């Protein structure tokens, strides 16, 4: 008989971090209605709500990054087929570096070259973030201090040129949609969804972090697609949105139906609840997506709150969102910004007004759920450890620094951390309905393979009140009674039994622990 697995069970109570309602609105454009040329006296906060050619886009992003040099920088993730840099502007308290436990978000526009609203929204957003940070907007400061945000306004700059040559109002439905090789970039990613459906039928098989099949490389892979995949391998993205045009709706994975012969069919991921929540974070604060009047476009989505499962809308293979979810830790939604793919310039300011709050609100949802670090008993980070949640068959893995982020909807969740050679650690977390900061849940993994004697010795050494060794936690039910767990700490007003565990992890007292 194998030795019993030293399962550890801890009760973690997460409460909402009260968030002062201190957002204040400022006119970021300083007279944006007046489009007159202000050659010298132009305030740096001025945003020109116009279309941007490739050269203009590059100039604005570079200028913005240098104006906000302490919180922004630009970098290229590669080149388009015709050789244009795929330029990203990044915002972070330490640009260029991943910081421990700081979640990373990406927003991608113009993947279809003729769908240009997203490109402009991200160019404006970059300027807005920079200006508001400098002006001291506490919401934006907090956001940039706690989040690393990457904006790629144009994933398909070559297609854009084709579409822009026709111009707004003249652009057909498809001119410039593809890249310069005539590839649709949102059909060019590896189809991992078919593989997922196979794995999901197999008991015990892992259906996350699915490798790219060899045969994918035999086909035509666009340099833009390759650049995105490489980008995703170098940065531990948690959340992403891809901005499109042609309708007014937010869609979420899967995009590829379980039954390919069906044109459309509801095909949820194991994270259906979270994806709905993420999509609503965008749609619910978007005045046009919520508009019930006649003049709204894409009205057929109104009954669903302007969100829809991608495959339930129309199924397609090789999309970017399915790939994000099935190959990495990143959750990506698709936003259709409006019915006009190439809006006239006059419409751009209104579009920005409609999408600004949605974009901010969406990015802020990266702080939902839990995050933390997984270390061994010496405090050494364990990378590639698996973070599983009971009832959601989709594991998240830790980044090279041992940090992880697990987006989770409100409720009670049983979270398990494991890595080869270590015993599993199980914790219970409660995610409150309102939450603006991810609860911190760290895991310390104990090596497997110690004899039972050594193991018991280890227990004695750590003392009865330390949950790492506490006999009460050993072999206890994996589904604890939440009410019992709630009552457990504090009958006498003293610290709960697991308190020392958390306080010993860091010098910071975890503020989100519920005290009695």
For 390, other C-beta atoms within 10 Å of its C-beta total 14
Helix (H) or strand (E) holding 448, with range, is: none
As a whole number of angstroms, the distance between CA 378 and CA 371 comes to 20
Can you tell me which residue has the tokens 């650049």? Answer: 227
Token output for 326: 């099935």
Rounded to a whole number of angstroms, the minimum distance from the CB of residue 174 to Zn ion is 10
Residue among 142 and 304 whose Cβ is closer to ligand NAG:
142
Spell out the residues 6+ positions from residue 112 whose beta carbon is closer than 8 angstroms to its own: 156, 159, 176, 177, 178, 184, 185, 186, 244, 245, 341
CA Rg, the chain, in Å? Answer: 24
Report the nearest approach of Zn ion to the CB of residue 163 (Å): 12
Contact 333/275 with Cβ under 8 angstroms? yes
Binding site for ligand NAG (CB under 6 A): 138, 141-142, 145
CA 49 to chain centre: 27
Q: Which is nearer to ligand NAG, 142 or 383 (CB)?
A: 142
What is the residue whose two structure tokens read 């979420």? 252
Under 8 Å between Cβ of 248 and 306: yes
The Cα 343–Cα 357 span in angstroms is: 20
Q: Which does 115 bind (CB under 5 to 8 A by kind): ligand NAG, Zn ion, none?
A: Zn ion
Quickly count: other Cβ atoms within 10 Å of residue 330's Cβ. Answer: 22
336 classed as catalytic: yes
Residue 67 CB, nearest approach to ligand NAG (Å): 16
Task: Name which of Zn ion, ligand NAG, none residue 244 binds, using a CB cut-off of 5 to 8 Å depending on partner kind.
Answer: Zn ion
Per DSSP, the three-state class of 39 is coil
Contacted entry of Zn ion, ligand NAG, none for residue 145, CB cut-off 5 to 8 Å set by kind: ligand NAG
Q: What's the DSSP call for residue 449? A: -
Q: Which is nearer to ligand NAG, 133 or 342 (CB)?
A: 133
Q: Which is nearer to Zn ion, 102 or 336 (CB)?
A: 336
Nearer to Zn ion, 244 or 427 (CB): 244
Nearer to ligand NAG, 24 or 516 (CB): 24
Q: Least distance (Å) from ligand NAG to the CB of residue 23?
A: 11
Of these partners, Zn ion, ligand NAG, none, which one is at the site of residue 141 (CB under 5 to 8 Å by kind)? ligand NAG
Task: In angstroms, give the least distance from the CB of 50 to ligand NAG.
Answer: 31
Q: Are 80 and 157 in contact (CB under 8 A)?
A: yes
Pick what 73 binds: ligand NAG, Zn ion, none; C-beta below 5 to 8 Å, kind-dependent.
none
Distance CA 335, CA 368 (A): 20
Partner whose binding site includes residue 142, from Zn ion, ligand NAG, none (CB under 5 to 8 Å by kind): ligand NAG
Torsions phi, psi of 448, nearest 5? -80, 170
Which of 111, 408 has the CB closer to Zn ion?
Answer: 111
Tell the smallest beta-carbon distance from residue 142 to ligand NAG (Å).
4
For residue 45, the minimal CB distance to ligand NAG (Å) is 19
Query: How far is the C-alpha of 250 from the C-alpha of 337, rounded, in Å?
Result: 8
Under a CB-based contact definition with an 8 Å cutoff, are residues 308 and 251 in contact? yes
Partner from Zn ion, ligand NAG, none contacting 98, C-beta within 5 to 8 A by type: none
Catalytic residue among 332, 336, 476, 479: 336
Per CB under 5 A, residues contacting Zn ion are: 112, 115, 244
Catalytic residue ranges = 336
């Amino acid at each position: 008989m194998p030795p019993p697995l030293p399962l550890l069970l801890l009760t973690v109570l997460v409460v909402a971090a009260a968030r002062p309602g201190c957002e204040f609105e400022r006119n970021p454009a300083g007279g944006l209605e007046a489009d007159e040329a202000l050659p010298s006296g132009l305030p740096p906060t001025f945003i020109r709500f116009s279309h941007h050619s490739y050269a203009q886009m590059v100039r604005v992003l570079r200028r913005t990054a240098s104006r906000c040099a302490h919180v922004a920088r630009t970098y290229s993730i590669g080149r388009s087929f015709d050789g244009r840099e795929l330029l990203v502007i990044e915002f972070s308290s330490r640009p260029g570096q991943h910081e421990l436990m700081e979640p990373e978000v990406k927003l991608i526009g113009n993947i279809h070259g003729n769908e240009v609203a997203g490109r402009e929204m991200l160019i404006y957003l970059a300027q807005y973030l920079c200006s508001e940070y400098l002006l001291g907007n506490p919401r934006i400061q907090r956001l940039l201090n706690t989040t690393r945000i990457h904006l790629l306004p144009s994933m398909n700059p070559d297609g854009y040129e084709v579409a822009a040559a026709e111009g707004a109002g003249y652009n057909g439905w498809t001119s410039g949609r593809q890249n310069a090789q005539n590839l649709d970039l949102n059909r060019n990613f590896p189809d991992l969804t078919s593989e997922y459906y196979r794995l999901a039928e197999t008991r015990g098989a892992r259906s996350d972090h699915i490798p790219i099949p060899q045969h994918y490389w035999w086909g035509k892979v666009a340099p833009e697609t390759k650049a995105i995949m490489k980008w995703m391998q170098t940065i531990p993205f948690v959340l992403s949105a891809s901005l499109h045009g042609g309708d007014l709706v937010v869609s979420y994975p899967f995009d590829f139906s379980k039954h390919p012969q069906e044109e459309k069919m509801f095909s949820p991921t194991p994270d259906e609840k979270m994806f709905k929540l993420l999509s609503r974070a965008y749609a619910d604060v978007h005045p046009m997506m919520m508009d019930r009047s006649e003049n709204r476009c894409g009205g057929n989505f109104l009954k669903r709150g302007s969100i829809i499962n991608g495959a339930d809308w129309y199924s397609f293979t090789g999309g970017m969102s399915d790939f994000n979810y099935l190959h990495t830790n990143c959750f990506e939604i698709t936003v259709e910004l409006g019915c006009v793919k190439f809006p006239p310039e006059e419409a751009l300011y209104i579009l920005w007004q409609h999408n600004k709050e949605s974009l901010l609100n969406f990015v802020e949802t990266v702080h939902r759920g839990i995050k933390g670090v997984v270390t061994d008993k010496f405090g050494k980070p364990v990378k590639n450890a698996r973070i599983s949640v009971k009832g959601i068959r989709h594991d998240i893995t830790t980044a090279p620094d041992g940090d992880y982020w697990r987006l989770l909807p409100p409720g009670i969740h049983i979270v398990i951390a494991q890595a080869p050679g270590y015993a599993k650690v199980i914790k219970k977390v409660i995610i409150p309905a309102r939450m603006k900061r991810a609860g911190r849940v760290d895991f310390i993994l104990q090596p497997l393979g110690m004899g039972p004697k050594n193991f018991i010795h280890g227990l004695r050494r750590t003392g009865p009140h330390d949950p790492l060794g506490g006999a009460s936690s050993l072999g206890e039910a994996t589904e604890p009674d939440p009410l019992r767990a709630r009552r457990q700490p504090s009958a006498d007003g003293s610290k709960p039994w697991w308190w020392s565990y958390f306080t010993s992890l860091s010098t910071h007292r975890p503020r989100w622990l519920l005290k009695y």
